[in-house]
Amino acid sequence: MSDLKSSVEDCLKRESRIHSSDKIVSMKSVGGGRINKAYLVKTATGSQYFVKQKGESTSFDKSMCVRMFQTEIDGLRGFRKINTIRVPEPICVGELSNGAFIITEAIEMRPLCNERLLGEKLAAMHLVKGPDRFGLDTDNFIGSIPQPNAWHESWVDFLRMRLEFQFKLAQLPAPLDKQANELLARLPEIFKDTEIVPSLIHGDLWSGNCAADEDGNPVIYDPAVYWGHHEAELGAMRLFGGYGKEFYSAYHSRIPKAPGFDTRGMIYELYHIVNHYNLFGNRFLGQCQNLLERILSKHVV
């Protein structure tokens, strides 16, 4: 902890966030997930910051930890440029002897109550004009799994690259692997005549990566950002509890559903379920199988 405390203090001073004479007086654990530890940091002058630490109890080496946090910083900065939904202000990434940490603005989070407002703001973000291709300048991560973002002119080509990466990592049982390859072959037909304009995507916006600030406004965090099909955002949002009718009503009032929405939505869910299979193992295999069967049965060539 002393290594983390002194490193965070040095980082805040280097970024001119606190005076050279200021000191950290407390680092309160505020939970964290399977990979990260999280702390609320307070200084003698009353400043507060949020810190996530990675590496102390994981198999990731220091360089991997730094890359994961740097891509998070980059994603948050991208959202702040567009400025439609609040995200924590990113401050810096620092190295530790056996890992890394990230410092962001500390926001007093509370459960999201106004899902309609989230729907309106997310649709506004997805409607912001961006590049004429799909991807990002750098690869990033979804959870702890690498996420390739090489630029593609075609959404189908980009999506195929993403799915192939996850399928290869998963080494699915032979029957499912055959179905996965069949899906890849059918992508051009499934997306035929679908007009897709690149949107800035959070990339992992399940309910655990969204909350509200002290004024009730939505806050999103822990991004896996890229420029992609806006419907892909909804794939993660339908999983693990999901969001309610108020969200979808508000979102689709700005961006109506297009023909084939349900089939494409299952493909986007599949991406996240295979990713969870790669992260957590066999308990997600049944969902992979179910989604593959439903997609292929809905779109018979």
The CATH number given to whatever domain includes residue 229 is 3.90.1200.10
3-class SS of residue 17: coil
**What percentage of residues in the chain have a pLDDT greater than 90?**
88
Q: Of the candidates 68, 87, 105, which is a domain's last residue?
A: 105
In this structure, the answer to whether residues 21 and 143 fall within a common structural domain is: no
Domain count, the chain: 2
8 A C-beta contact, residue 8 and residue 101: yes
* pLDDT tens digits, 217-266: 999 999 999 999 999 999 999 988 789 999 999 999 999 999 999 999 99
In this structure, the answer to whether residues 128 and 216 fall within a common structural domain is: yes
Does residue 189 sit within a domain?
Answer: yes
In this structure, the answer to whether residues 128 and 276 fall within a common structural domain is: yes
In this structure, the answer to whether residues 74 and 163 fall within a common structural domain is: no
Q: Which residues contact 285 (CB under 8 A, 6 or more apart)?
A: 172, 173, 176, 277
Instruction: State pTM to two decimals.
Output: 0.94
Q: Of the candidates 77, 105, 133, which is a domain's last residue?
A: 105
87 token code pair? 């995200």
In this structure, the answer to whether residues 121 and 239 fall within a common structural domain is: yes
Does residue 215 sit within a domain?
Answer: yes
Does residue 110 sit within a domain?
Answer: no
Average pLDDT of the chain to the nearest whole number: 94
3-class SS of residue 194: coil
Residue 48: CATH number of its domain:
3.30.200.20
225 CB-contact burial (10 Å; exposed 0-12 / middle 13-18 / buried 19+): buried
In this structure, the answer to whether residues 124 and 36 fall within a common structural domain is: no
User: Domain of 187?
Assistant: 115-298
Is 57's pLDDT higher than 60?
no
Q: Which residues contact 286 (CB under 8 A, 6 or more apart)?
A: none
- 16-20, 36-40, 63-67, 101-105, range with greatest mean pLDDT: 101-105
Catalytic residues: 204
In this structure, the answer to whether residues 275 and 141 fall within a common structural domain is: yes
Give the CA distances from residue 237 to residues 56, 139, 231, 243, 278, in Å, rounded to whole numbers and listed in that order: 30, 22, 10, 7, 19
| pLDDT band at residue 119 under the 50/70/90 scheme | very high
Q: Provide φ and ψ at 235, rounded to 5°.
A: -60, -50
